[in-house]
Structure 1
């Protein structure tokens, strides 16, 4: 007897849950039918599966068909728009450089991009783990640029002062296979 009552209670719970799902689907159907009715009254078709904001994009696309890009010759300063605190704008110094070749690489592939990093601020050692800690959010950020001019434009746009470390171009050395066997040059090595 108890088993039937337990089964009956779980069946009631299932029926109640099904009723909740049916009610939610009918409410969404009601709102959809209301939206379709409003569209038919105002003679504007809105696809309910799409977002309404695409109409603004289409309007901008139609207006931009015959127009050209607008270029501004004056220097842009976006420091007021970025939301960065003033202490990180006025007191920061940026270094623009080309990274040196890694000792483990023979080519110069990773030395062609310009990088920008910030000066290091106060750091301290965590007494529990021994990790280096800092309160500076910009100290570990390194940005990469394809040209030096792009990096300078970005730094000036953000209002930071900067230093540029010029790119070092290695002098090509004259190498020839015959120089290994000449007696008057110090390139010959003994076999001992």
Structure 2
């Protein structure tokens, strides 16, 4: 009986991993099916933050975090997807709240830090809806140059994911994690320099 239950559980894990893989490739039906499965957990997590505006906007943010979790999850690491997604969602919500708090604190601050490479492009271009869209398109071009591992590093540098989550992906290989972060910083600086030169010419 124990073997039967173990086999059934393993079959469910394999089925879920297949759905996660399809969702990561952009299959909306697979993503929707998985998100519905984890909706009770999602709502409980949102409720735990005592959000003042607990509405569809926050659920949409959870959906974004869920998709990111599908894209970056590594089935080869002995961490359940539910645990990984909860961590992704928690960090995504915290990141949003940090940005909102920072925006309030710097509402009257007009200076732009040119040293902050990963936010420079967004800060100097994203002042109107059209420019926000343009910025996103430019960043999408940069993301296309990244490997899946480098994309995780990029999310860490942006504050969308934590170093702990990166170490999960590298199986606690700190040197590999730091090399990845350094590589993405270098690539991004080259990308920004090229973009600035094209704008000036």
Relative to the length of structure 2, the TM-score reads: 0.16
Q: Report which of the two structures shows the higher radius of gyration computed on alpha carbons.
A: 1
User: Which structure's residues are more often helix, by fraction?
Assistant: 2
Relative to the length of structure 1, the TM-score reads: 0.16
User: Which structure's residues are more often strand, by fraction?
Assistant: 1
Q: Which has the higher contact order (CA 8 A, sep 6+)?
A: 1
